[in-house]
């Protein structure tokens, strides 16, 4: 008799995520995978490889670029898509600004929340009926309310009180024309699971996830990166009068718009050290580093109701 080896917790999570990706491919007519070059979407790319290779992915990749993304991440995004040979669609908040559908209150206003507008415009442009994203329930309490197949109405809006039951891993991705599903294959993963999976699969990452020297200032109790170069060559996040610029060793736990993503002090310069560091932290990655989530306790939920990822 042969003895069956029990699956590790990563094997279980991987199997569930692959099942979800295949359910999307089977139920949805025109899905798309949201890919930013960040750690969560890189995990989903590996899961998609395991779900569909040696064939091509049954969906393109898409990034909603604020125009204020970290250069290292944008370069890595393009490199990874080229290596996979998959189609990458990029739509920019700056294009929405030119059309007048996004209007900033001030030139330095964070653009993260305005991604909702550009995303909904891209969904309408391409007729996508499902967007696969890397959101996880442990990140933020509004995300903890999400189903794995999260229903959005014809206006792209999310109503947390109007979601479908998901019993026994049965997923319902059926929608009427104009409606949309947001699918979250790694919804049940934690930040630790992500890093352990990255370590196991030996995934490459943008360099800013690892400890490096960076000019920062202390602002509103957070470490705020300054003089950050964009892909255009422009320097963003200029220090304000009276702020002391410090060169500090930091890394990023999560990556988003330059104007609202803060690093943390760290000497973790490889994945194994990050795993150890993650095991000891008491603050969620978004709670520690996403300044746009700290405007109010309901800021994320409000953005999601308006169509955010």
Q: Dump pLDDT digits (tens) for 194-218.
A: 999 999 999 999 999 999 999 999 9
3-class SS of residue 276: helix
Question: How distant, in Å, are the alpha carbons of 159, 206, 209, 250 from that of 269?
Answer: 41, 12, 8, 10
Tokens (6 digits) for 171: 């997923």
| Residue 231 confidence (pLDDT) | 80
pTM: predicted TM-score of the whole model, two decimal places: 0.89
Given a cut of 80, whether residue 113 has pLDDT beyond it is yes
| Residue 162 confidence (pLDDT) | 81
Q: What letters, b where the CB count within 10 A reaches 16 and e where it falls short, cover 120-155? A: bbbbeeeebbbbbbbbbbbbbebbeebbbbbbbeee
Question: Whose structure tokens read 């699956």?
Answer: 7
pLDDT band, residue 143 (cuts 50/70/90):
low
Among 47, 89, 290, residue whose Cα is nearest residue 189: 47
Alpha helices in the chain, H assignment, sequence order: 9-27, 39-52, 71-84, 93-99, 115-126, 191-201, 271-280, 285-289, 299-305
Q: How many CA atoms lie within 13 A of 250 on its CB side?
A: 22
Tokens (6 digits) for 60: 């393109």
Distance between CA 101 and CA 132 in Å, rounded? 24
Tokens (6 digits) for 292: 């746009």
Of the listed ranges 82-86, 137-141, 288-292, the one predicted with least confidence? 288-292
Among 157, 160, 158, 90, residue whose Cα is nearest residue 118: 90
C-alpha of 243 from chain center:
31
C-alpha of 111 from chain center:
15
For residue 305, the cross-strand partners are none
Average pLDDT over residues 233-247: 89
| Residue 292 confidence (pLDDT) | 55
Average pLDDT over residues 265-285: 90
Question: How distant, in Å, are the alpha carbons of 34, 51, 53, 156, 184 from that of 178?
Answer: 19, 27, 30, 8, 20
Assess contact for 31 and 130: CB atoms under 8 A: yes
Helices vs. strands in the chain: H and E counts, helices first: 9, 12
| Residue 298 confidence (pLDDT) | 46
| Residue 303 confidence (pLDDT) | 54
Which range has highest mean pLDDT (49-53, 238-242, 287-291)?
Answer: 49-53
Neighbours of 285 (CB within 10 A): 20
At 83-106, the pLDDT tens digits run 999 999 999 999 999 999 999 888
In percent, the amount of the chain with pLDDT more than 70 equals: 91
Distance between CA 55 and CA 112 in Å, rounded? 34
| Residue 140 confidence (pLDDT) | 72
Of the listed ranges 19-28, 78-87, 95-104, 286-295, the one predicted with least confidence? 286-295
Tokens (6 digits) for 92: 């920019």
pLDDT band, residue 296 (cuts 50/70/90):
very low
- 36 or 1: which carries more pLDDT confidence? 36
Given a cut of 80, whether residue 115 has pLDDT beyond it is yes
Q: What are phi and psi of 112, to 5 degrees?
A: -55, -50
């Amino acid at each position: 008799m042969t003895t069956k080896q029990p699956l590790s917790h990563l094997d279980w999570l991987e199997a569930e995520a692959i099942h979800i990706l295949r359910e999307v491919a089977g139920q949805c007519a025109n899905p798309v995978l949201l890919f930013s070059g960040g750690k969560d979407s890189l995990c989903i790319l590996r899961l998609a490889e395991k779900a569909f290779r040696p064939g091509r992915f049954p969906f393109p990749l898409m990034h909603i670029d604020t125009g204020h993304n970290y250069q290292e991440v944008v370069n890595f995004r393009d490199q990874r898509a080229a290596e996979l040979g998959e189609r990458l669609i990029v739509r920019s908040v700056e294009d929405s600004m030119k059309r007048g559908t996004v209007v900033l209150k001030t030139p330095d206003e964070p653009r993260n929340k305005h991604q909702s507008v550009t995303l909904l415009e891209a969904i309408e442009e391409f007729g996508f009926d499902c967007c696969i994203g890397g959101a996880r329930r442990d990140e933020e309490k509004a995300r903890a309310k999400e189903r794995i197949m999260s229903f959005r109405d014809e206006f792209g809006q999310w109503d947390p009180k109007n979601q479908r039951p998901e019993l026994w891993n049965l997923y319902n991705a059926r929608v009427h024309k104009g409606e949309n599903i947001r699918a979250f294959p790694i919804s049940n993963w934690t930040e630790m699971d992500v890093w352990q999976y990255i370590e196991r699969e030996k995934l490459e990452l943008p360099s800013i996830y690892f400890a490096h020297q960076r000019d920062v200032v202390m602002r509103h109790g957070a470490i705020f990166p300054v003089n950050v170069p964009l892909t255009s060559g422009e320097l963003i996040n200029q220090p304000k009068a009276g702020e002391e610029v410090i060169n500090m060793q930091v890394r990023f736990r999560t990556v988003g718009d330059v104007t609202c993503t803060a690093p943390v002090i760290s000497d973790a310069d490889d994945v194994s050290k990050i795993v150890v560091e993650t095991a000891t932290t008491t603050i969620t990655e978004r709670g520690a580093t996403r300044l746009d989530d700290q405007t109010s306790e309901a800021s994320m939920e409000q953005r999601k109701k308006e169509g955010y990822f």
